[in-house]
Amino acid sequence: MLVLVFDPFRGAAGDMIVGSLLDCGANRKSVVQAMQSVIAEPEITSVTRAGIRAIKVNTRVAPTHRTLADVMKRLNDAAGNIPPEALAMAKRVFMRINDAEELVHGSYAHFHEVGADDAIADVIGACTAFHSLGVEAVAVMPVTLGWGSGTGSHGTFPIPAPATAAILSRAGLPVRSGKEEGELCTPTGAALLAEFSTISATDLGSYTIKTVGYGAGTRDPIDVPNVIRAMVIETTGDNMPLQSDMVDILETNVDDVSGELIAHTITRFVEKGARDASAIPILMKKGRPGFLIRIICAQDTSAELAELMAQELGTLGIRCIPAV
């Protein structure tokens, strides 16, 4: 099995993750095209950080404050230049950031640094690069956070930033403070790692390394290379757990909907992110023929898909079987 392993031994930021994936062999043309859908062509250069060669990605745009709706509109406007699976992943990344911001600041929170065009481009680029590698699982080694305090749109804050801490806590990723003062892991970097992660680094067993890539940050301290490392590895099968994730199952019974409408509705479900959708012939009470409509979906899309199911089919009740 091909596994992507991130080693954020000096933290993580969106541009550093993009650089590491490009250095690992991600499709550069696709990544640049995706990022150019929201910014001018990014500057991609080879640099050294404390003696290690790495890829530096520079978006060269000014900061902008946006709401989640603004960010989603930017993503939808760029959809023609982004692979659908990468676009869906990018939206989930920003949902993670939004959930963390609302947890910290309350409802109607605004994105600040993470709503800027450079952050949107970094997330799009990272998700596009990730999907171009074709890996089957992702492991994230302990994330170095830094310590002390920093300054942002909300004034002085403790490190890790409250949103970063919330994202990492919800994802259950392993962390460490490290010896260096300052913010090493940004909310965007944390959300990307949280979205990518599927297995624990402790479950890798033995493996062979296929490619190694380094993504560079802006600063260049002399003692610790300011990079994040990514590796594509192939496991031997020793001690590897079966890969799994959690889904919701939505079901409803209908007996007064035409086959044409059911086929149309199943197509709508898939377009809105359903993992699978089906219609199963059933015999209902009093011998009436009908259909069991079933959707398998990610947990963060189940509410939207249940609403769509009610709108399209006119059903009065939907069974939700959560966390399967």
Q: What is the pLDDT of residues 89-111, one digit of tens each?
A: 999 999 999 888 888 877 655 56
Q: What's the pLDDT score for residue 61?
A: 80
* Euclidean distance between CA atoms 76 and 82, whole angstroms: 10
Q: Which region, left, alpha or beta, applies to residue 184 given φ > 0 means left and ψ of -120 to 50 means alpha? A: alpha
Q: What's the pLDDT score for residue 152?
A: 66
Q: What's the pLDDT score for residue 63?
A: 67
Q: Name every residue whose Cβ is closer than 8 Å to that of residue 34 and which is 6 or more positions away in sequence.
A: 78, 81, 82, 83, 86, 124, 125, 128
Positions in the chain short of pLDDT 70? 63, 107-115, 152-154, 237-244
H or E stretch at 209: strand 207-216
Q: What's the pLDDT score for residue 153?
A: 62
Q: Name every residue whose Cβ is closer than 8 Å to that of residue 161 and which is 6 or more positions away in sequence.
A: 150, 152, 183, 186, 187
Q: Buried b / exposed e across 29-64, counting CB within 10 Å, b at 16+? A: ebbbbbbbbbbeebebeebebeeeebbbbebebeeb
Q: What's the pLDDT score for residue 108?
A: 54
Q: What's the pLDDT score for residue 324?
A: 80
Question: From residue 51, how far is each of 48, 117, 272 by CA, in Å?
Answer: 6, 31, 46
3-state secondary structure of 322: coil
Question: Which token pair is 1?
Answer: 């099995």
Q: What's the pLDDT score for residue 107?
A: 64
